[in-house]
Chain A
Amino acid sequence: MRYAIRYITIFISLILLIQCKKAQLSDVEPIISFKTDSGFTFSDKTLKLGDTIKVGIIANSADGENITLFNTKFFAGEQSTSVDSGLNSSELNYERQIIKGISEKETWIFMVKNKAGLRQEISINLFKDSTSEFINITHIPKVILGAQLNNNYGTAWSSSLDSVFSITKAYTNQSSIDFLYFYDFNGDENTISSPGGNVDTSIYGSTYSPSYWSTRNTTRFELTTLTVQEFDNSYNDSLIYANTFDYASGKRKSKNLKTNDIYSFVLNNAGKKGLFKVLSVDGTTAGKIELEIKIQN
């Protein structure tokens, strides 16, 4: 036993060396603020319908725990949405465009939360200019587009000409084409794409494929949660405004379309806004799709 004390001392030293560390989280709150640079909106503002503003957010951990959540909440009347973005950083730099919708008052709340669960938030209110008016829209009850191998219906639609073109005719009217319909056998199935939507050359062949066009409009799409009844009852651009999106965040294709899907779209370079509803779809490479479209005048 005379060695015991010596061994115990060595042993306890080893334990201390490799002990599991304890997680101690800082209680310092993160900091968040609006960007006040030129071109950014950082206080409450009155806007006309469809006006666009730019908002910038900067946040940092203030030597506390890293920021792990950036949350954006949007309130407009009874409607609200919340979007979480996960991160793990001591700093946050965020910019976005906001388009004034139809509500009298819209509130945007930006919140950061750090790893210790401490939160900070800022908000901005956007009021509707009382001189704003809804504008009547163009209603196109039915547009029939054929898929890539359909010989009876054209595959491309032009909003400015309100016409449907075959792919060969579309090739000669490139600058007017906004929608293309095709059936993607690699999983996306029934697809409405913009010409600038990176359409694979296997869809339309090597001669007239949009990949070879010199001018490709980029329409962007976003799926809405609108009901058919809401779509059918809309007679001015209020519903379009309420469901539009930031052009940069939209997708260049609307995929896997099925009957009664309702998409919001914005034409090339943040042009006119609109909605389309799928009336019917016949999903083959020689099939067709029927759309009902409502678009700003």
Chain B
Amino acid sequence: MVKLFVVRSFFYSTSLWSVRVVWFGSMLKFSLFIFVILFNILSSSLIAQNETTDSANYKLQEVIVTATRTEKLVSKVAGNCEIISKNEIQNSSVNNIDDLLKSAGSVYVNRSWGIFSKNSSVTMRGLNSSSRTLVMLDGIPMNKLSGGAVNWHAINPDDIGKIEIVKGPVSALYGGNAMGGTINMISSEPDKKASGSIKIFYGDHNTIGTSLNLSGKDSPINGFFWNISAFTRKGDGYIFIPEESITQYDKPLYLTEYGLNGKLGYKFKKGSKVSFNYHHYNELRGSGDSFFEKDGSYEKIITGIYTLNYTSKIGKFNSTLGAFLYSEKYFNQDESMNNFNEYRLLFRDVLKNDYGINWTVSGKFNEKNTITTGFEIRNGDVNSDEDYKTSTDFINYHGNLSLYGLFVQDDFEISQKFNLVAGLRVDYARFYNGSLFVTEPSSVTGYEGDVNKKFHESNWFAYSPKLALKYSISEHLSSYISYSTGFMPPKLDDLCKSGKINRGFKLANPDLLPEKLKNFEVGANYNLNKLSTKTSVYYSIGTDFQYFAKTGEVIVAANGEEKPIFIRKNISEISIKGAEIELKYNLHKHIQVKASYSYNKPTITKYNGNDSLNDLTGNTLLEVPSDMFFGGFSYLNEKIINFDISYNYISAQWADDENTIELEPYGLVNIRISKDIKKRFNFYIDIQNLFNKIYVDRKGQLPPGRFSMLGIKVNF
């Protein structure tokens, strides 16, 4: 077993902290796991007999839409849900919206290069890969069908009014990607006739940025609401290579980005509402090296998201009709030098479009039954050009994937104490227009000759049932038991893209099927006026998981070495044992304490990769920390000072499928101190990674370390 160790010189400032982290992790792993189970078993009998009728001013009860597609109190949902409020968003020391999700148990946010990260992955409940967690913006899926990933940079935290998190599979309502859970970011709605703010900030690595927000309600005429916001950010970045390994070709991960958001809507007198939203985001990010090109390797992404929503009443039912277009133009200039000092320059030009419509109707069918039903059509296409400038190779691949979903759910009130939720969604998927063209290939790309291939069409169905029983023991205490399912559609990149990978050569597989997950769960929610806790224990079984399988053929690399050919197939099964507990306590009207802990053990239980030397059976999924802890303390007092401090612990995790490289655990402390002056000015300082903890990511690269930011916001 190989361990990636951080450069010794980085340890001096963090060693004490590391000891605490290790102790903390191992203690929590056992004690909290047992606590979660005991809590579920004993809560019914013990707490029910000692109900507290504390009626202080605080109400931790919040309304969530994402869990059922209808408005419902979090405590009434037969599952584990969480809400991050506007206040929490505004007062956290985060630079990107995904950073906020760290506070939710079982959510793992991997953004190891801070604001300079090219990609940030958010995964839930023991599953890796961004595509196994559904992320939405106002109900619109943000996971692209091409690769499943989410571009978190495209969302300005200032535009978001609330984040709803539903843990566990929710494919019965949302279809694809909702395996580990669902995150729905809901944009802010103006609450004043006219208001605005402007923010300027400056931080480490010469990072400078601005943001502007203007909004209005019932202006210029009654019924209209609008919002215009924009942000810019630019930073010189840092070099992510250990100092002693830096060469003349290693360069900082620079960053330049800006975004624009426009929202326009109208509320009709009878309660109907129509709104149009447009997000534009433009980013340029250095990749950390430069050989001949002035800008070195970099990625440039231009994103446009258009959404249209119309909500209305149809009799006693609420109707929501939505349409969206999510377009991403990706360009990558990739410079490299191999071990033989051969220079490579590659331009990648990829256009990805996701678009679709959805319609949901929900309402009380009768006194006992709340019915939610609807349909969804989601399409995705990808067109990629890879132009090798230092050889003759040119590769183009293209593909379309369409998903058609129908769903129905009944929330049946059996009695005052029991609720039964039963739902089913059927998805039909079709892959078509798949093609791969390769011209003048050389050993660089590994193709033997020109390719002009049209892939055959393929299709499949996914059935996603859900059954959950909620038992409201008292006003404050409830428990639930549920069976839910999720699936992840195959990615267009796997359906129609062949090409070199680190281990050899990968073939496209147009016959890939979706991955599936069944989840069995019990949980309990306990809410007093000042205290709220949620616990759950779950066991998940994943089938048809995709891994590379050897075809038995080989290609000959440029250096004469034979490398195996792989094809991605549905060849694996996994199981996940997990538990989570979250706590929110309003200690005082100005003080809130939050904590969450989760334990996940995902194991590969079956693997048929045609590779006897590399059987993954019994291994743990890579990039899944078994233990995560978040602790936060907030003091909010406009008259004195606002203060927020949080600690996030991530336990060791495997960096490879073979479980030979283990990444060290780490813990990070972030703080924000801000001061309001006459409600017009707000001065703040953010410090992320306060103790400058340096850890190594999966690729052996380093985080930026302590990152400080000073800012001022002016409200008008």
Q: How would residues 262 to 288 of chain B score, 1 for a CB under 8 Å from any chain A CB and 0 otherwise?
A: 000000000000000000001110000
Is B343 touching A19 in the complex (CB atoms < 8 A)? no
Is A86 touching B344 in the complex (CB atoms < 8 A)? yes
In the bound complex, how far is the Cα of B258 from the Cα of A10, in angstroms? 15
Name the residue among A68, A85, A86, A89 with the largest chain B CB count within 10 angstroms.
A86
Is A20 touching B256 in the complex (CB atoms < 8 A)? yes
In the bound complex, how far is the Cα of B342 from the Cα of A117, in angstroms? 19
- Tell me what chain A mostly uses at the interface: helix, strand, loop, or mixed: mixed
A86 contact set on B, CB distance < 8 A:
342-345, 389-391
Is A88 touching B212 in the complex (CB atoms < 8 A)? no
Interface residues of A in 97-122 (CB under 8 A from B): 113, 115, 117
Is A20 touching B212 in the complex (CB atoms < 8 A)? no
* A7-B198 CB under 8 A given contacts A20-B283, A87-B343: yes
Q: Can you name the residue of chain A whose Cβ is closest to the Cβ of B390?
A: A86
Interface residues of B in 332-370 (CB under 8 A from A): 335, 342-345
Is B232 touching A18 in the complex (CB atoms < 8 A)? yes
Does B292 reach chain A (CB closer than 8 Å)?
yes
Does B196 reach chain A (CB closer than 8 Å)?
yes
* A84-B442 CB under 8 A given contacts A18-B232, A68-B389: yes
Is B234 touching A82 in the complex (CB atoms < 8 A)? no
In the bound complex, how far is the Cα of B444 from the Cα of A3, in angstroms? 57
* A115-B345 CB under 8 A given contacts A68-B389, A69-B392, A84-B391: yes
CB of A256, distance to nearest CB on chain B (Å): 10
In the bound complex, how far is the Cα of B201 from the Cα of A14, in angstroms? 13
Interface residues of B in 175-217 (CB under 8 A from A): 194, 196, 198, 210, 212, 214
Does A161 reach chain B (CB closer than 8 Å)?
no
* A88-B196 CB under 8 A given contacts A20-B300, A82-B442: no
CB of A81, distance to nearest CB on chain B (Å): 11
Q: Can you name the residue of chain A whose Cβ is closest to the Cβ of B389?
A: A68
Q: How would residues 264 to 278 of chain A score, 1 for a CB under 8 Å from any chain B CB and 0 otherwise?
A: 000000000000000
Q: Can you name the residue of chain A whose Cβ is closest to the Cβ of B391?
A: A84
Does B24 reach chain A (CB closer than 8 Å)?
no
Is A69 touching B282 in the complex (CB atoms < 8 A)? no
Is B256 touching A71 in the complex (CB atoms < 8 A)? no
A23 contact set on B, CB distance < 8 A:
331
Q: How would residues 71 to 87 of chain A score, 1 for a CB under 8 Å from any chain B CB and 0 otherwise?
A: 10000000000101111
In the bound complex, how far is the Cα of B284 from the Cα of A4, in angstroms? 29
* A4-B716 CB under 8 A given contacts A69-B389, A82-B442, A86-B342: yes
A15 contact set on B, CB distance < 8 A:
230, 232, 258
**Residue from the list B212, B283, B345 in contact with A8, Cβ < 8 A:** B212
CB of A75, distance to nearest CB on chain B (Å): 15
A84 contact set on B, CB distance < 8 A:
390-392, 442, 444
In the bound complex, how far is the Cα of B197 from the Cα of A8, in angstroms? 10
Is A71 touching B345 in the complex (CB atoms < 8 A)? no
Q: Can you name the residue of chain B whose Cβ is closest to the Cβ of A111?
A: B392
In the bound complex, how far is the Cα of B343 from the Cα of A84, in angstroms? 10
**Residue from the list A1, A14, A89, A113 in contact with B389, Cβ < 8 A:** A113
A193 contact set on B, CB distance < 8 A:
none
Does B152 reach chain A (CB closer than 8 Å)?
no
Does B387 reach chain A (CB closer than 8 Å)?
yes
B390 contact set on A, CB distance < 8 A:
68-69, 84-88
In the bound complex, how far is the Cα of B230 from the Cα of A19, in angstroms? 13
Q: Can you name the residue of chain A whose Cβ is closest to the Cβ of B335?
A: A88
A71 contact set on B, CB distance < 8 A:
391-392
Is B232 touching A88 in the complex (CB atoms < 8 A)? no
Is B716 touching A3 in the complex (CB atoms < 8 A)? yes
Does B291 reach chain A (CB closer than 8 Å)?
yes
In the bound complex, how far is the Cα of B210 from the Cα of A3, in angstroms? 16
CB of B200, distance to nearest CB on chain A (Å): 9
CB of A8, distance to nearest CB on chain B (Å): 7
Does A212 reach chain B (CB closer than 8 Å)?
no
Is B391 touching A69 in the complex (CB atoms < 8 A)? yes
Q: How would residues 376 to 418 of chain B score, 1 for a CB under 8 Å from any chain A CB and 0 otherwise?
A: 0000000000010111100000000000000000000000000
CB of A103, distance to nearest CB on chain B (Å): 23
Is B344 touching A4 in the complex (CB atoms < 8 A)? no
Does A66 reach chain B (CB closer than 8 Å)?
yes
In the bound complex, how far is the Cα of B392 from the Cα of A276, in angstroms? 34
Is A115 touching B389 in the complex (CB atoms < 8 A)? yes
A69 contact set on B, CB distance < 8 A:
389-392
Interface residues of B in 310-342 (CB under 8 A from A): 331, 335, 342
A68 contact set on B, CB distance < 8 A:
345, 389-390
Q: Can you name the residue of chain A whose Cβ is closest to the Cβ of B194?
A: A1
**Residue from the list A11, A20, A88, A113 in contact with B198, Cβ < 8 A:** A11
In the bound complex, how far is the Cα of B389 from the Cα of A71, in angstroms? 11
In the bound complex, how far is the Cα of B282 from the Cα of A90, in angstroms? 31
Is B284 touching A20 in the complex (CB atoms < 8 A)? yes
CB of A74, distance to nearest CB on chain B (Å): 14
Is A88 touching B291 in the complex (CB atoms < 8 A)? yes
Q: Can you name the residue of chain A whose Cβ is closest to the Cβ of B260?
A: A15
B391 contact set on A, CB distance < 8 A:
69, 71, 84, 86
CB of B682, distance to nearest CB on chain A (Å): 15
Q: How would residues 240 to 258 of chain B score, 1 for a CB under 8 Å from any chain A CB and 0 otherwise?
A: 0000000000000000101
B194 contact set on A, CB distance < 8 A:
1
CB of B335, distance to nearest CB on chain A (Å): 8
A117 contact set on B, CB distance < 8 A:
387, 389
In the bound complex, how far is the Cα of B195 from the Cα of A3, in angstroms? 11
Q: How would residues 110 to 139 of chain A score, 1 for a CB under 8 Å from any chain B CB and 0 otherwise?
A: 000101010000000000000000000000
Q: Can you name the residue of chain B whose Cβ is closest to the Cβ of A70?
A: B390
In the bound complex, how far is the Cα of B442 from the Cα of A82, in angstroms? 8
Interface residues of A in 6-43 (CB under 8 A from B): 7-8, 10-11, 14-15, 18-20, 23
CB of A22, distance to nearest CB on chain B (Å): 9
Does B51 reach chain A (CB closer than 8 Å)?
no
Name the residue among B196, B210, B256, B391 with the largest chain A CB count within 10 angstroms.
B391
Does B293 reach chain A (CB closer than 8 Å)?
yes
In the bound complex, how far is the Cα of B344 from the Cα of A87, in angstroms? 8
In the bound complex, how far is the Cα of B20 from the Cα of A270, in angstroms? 69
B196 contact set on A, CB distance < 8 A:
1, 4, 7
In the bound complex, how far is the Cα of B214 from the Cα of A3, in angstroms? 11
In the bound complex, how far is the Cα of B297 from the Cα of A88, in angstroms? 14
**Residue from the list B212, B292, B344, B392 in contact with A11, Cβ < 8 A:** B212
**Residue from the list A3, A4, A7, A113 in contact with B392, Cβ < 8 A:** A113
A3 contact set on B, CB distance < 8 A:
716
Is B716 touching A88 in the complex (CB atoms < 8 A)? no
Interface residues of B in 540-568 (CB under 8 A from A): 560
CB of A73, distance to nearest CB on chain B (Å): 10
**Residue from the list B292, B300, B335, B444 in contact with A89, Cβ < 8 A:** B292
CB of B685, distance to nearest CB on chain A (Å): 22
A18 contact set on B, CB distance < 8 A:
232, 234, 256, 258
Q: Can you name the residue of chain A whose Cβ is closest to the Cβ of B230?
A: A11
CB of B564, distance to nearest CB on chain A (Å): 20
In the bound complex, how far is the Cα of B390 from the Cα of A26, in angstroms? 17
Is A66 touching B256 in the complex (CB atoms < 8 A)? no
B335 contact set on A, CB distance < 8 A:
88
Q: Can you name the residue of chain B whose Cβ is closest to the Cβ of A116?
A: B389
Is B210 touching A11 in the complex (CB atoms < 8 A)? yes
Q: Can you name the residue of chain A whose Cβ is closest to the Cβ of B393?
A: A84
B284 contact set on A, CB distance < 8 A:
20
For the complex of A and B, the 4 pairs showing the least CB-CB separation, nearest first, are A86-B390, A88-B292, A68-B389, A86-B343
Extra pairs beyond A20-B282, A71-B391 (5, CB < 8 Å): A10-B198, A18-B232, A19-B256, A86-B343, A86-B390
Chain A contact residues, CB within 8 Å of chain B = 1, 3-4, 7-8, 10-11, 14-15, 18-20, 23, 66, 68-69, 71, 82, 84-89, 113, 115, 117, 223
- Jot down 23 A-B pairs with beta carbons below 8 A, ordered by A: A1-B194, A1-B196, A1-B716, A3-B716, A4-B214, A4-B716, A7-B212, A8-B214, A11-B210, A11-B212, A11-B232, A14-B210, A15-B232, A18-B258, A19-B256, A20-B282, A20-B283, A68-B345, A69-B392, A84-B444, A86-B343, A88-B390, A117-B389
